[in-house]
Amino acid sequence: MKIAVVGTGYVGLVAGACLAETGNDVICADIDQGKISRLHAGEIPIYEPGLEPMVERNLREGRLTFTTDVAAAAAEAEVIFIAVGTPPGEDGSADLKHVLAVAETIGKSMPDDGPEKIVITKSTVPVGTAAKVKDAIRRHTSRAFHVCSNPEFLKEGAALQDFMKPDRVVVGVESEHARQRLGELYAPFVRTGNPILFMDISSAEITKYAANAMLATRISFMNTIAQLCEAVGADVGLVRQGIGTDERIGPGFLFAGIGYGGSCFPKDVKALVHTLQATGVDAAILEGVEKVNADQKKVLLRRAVERFGDDLSGRTFAVWGLSFKPETDDMREAPSLEVVRGLVKRGARVRAHDPEARDEAAHYFADLLAEGALQLCEHNYDCLEGSDALLILTEWLAYRNPDFDRIRESLAEPVILDGRNLWDPARMAGLGFEYTSIGRTPAAAPAEAGAAAD
Active centre residues (catalytic): 264
Distance of alpha carbon 34 from alpha carbon 269, whole angstroms: 32
Non-local CB neighbours of 380 within 8 Å, separated by 6+ positions: 320, 353, 398, 399, 402
Distance of alpha carbon 418 from alpha carbon 300, whole angstroms: 8
**Nearest CA to 336 among 253, 255, 394?**
394
Distance of alpha carbon 290 from alpha carbon 93, whole angstroms: 15
* Cβ atoms of residues 350 and 319 within 8 Å: yes
CA–CA distances in Å: residue 96 to residues 5, 53, 148, 352:
17, 32, 16, 36
- Amino acid residing at 17: A
* Cβ atoms of residues 16 and 28 within 8 Å: yes
Burial per residue of 248-271, b for 16 or more beta-carbon CB atoms within 10 angstroms, e otherwise: eeeeeebbbbbbbbbbbbbbbbbb
Phi-psi region of 372 (alpha: psi -120 to 50; beta: other; left: phi over 0): left
Rg (alpha carbons) of the chain, rounded to whole number: 24
Contacts 24+ apart (CB under 8 A), 422-429: 422/392, 422/395, 428/404
* Cβ atoms of residues 60 and 40 within 8 Å: no
Burial per residue of 107-142, b for 16 or more beta-carbon CB atoms within 10 angstroms, e otherwise: bebbeeeeeebbbbbbbbbbbebbebbbebbeeebe
User: Could you tell me the end-to-end alpha-carbon distance of the chain, in angstroms, rounded to an integer?
Assistant: 68
Distance of alpha carbon 449 from alpha carbon 454, whole angstroms: 9
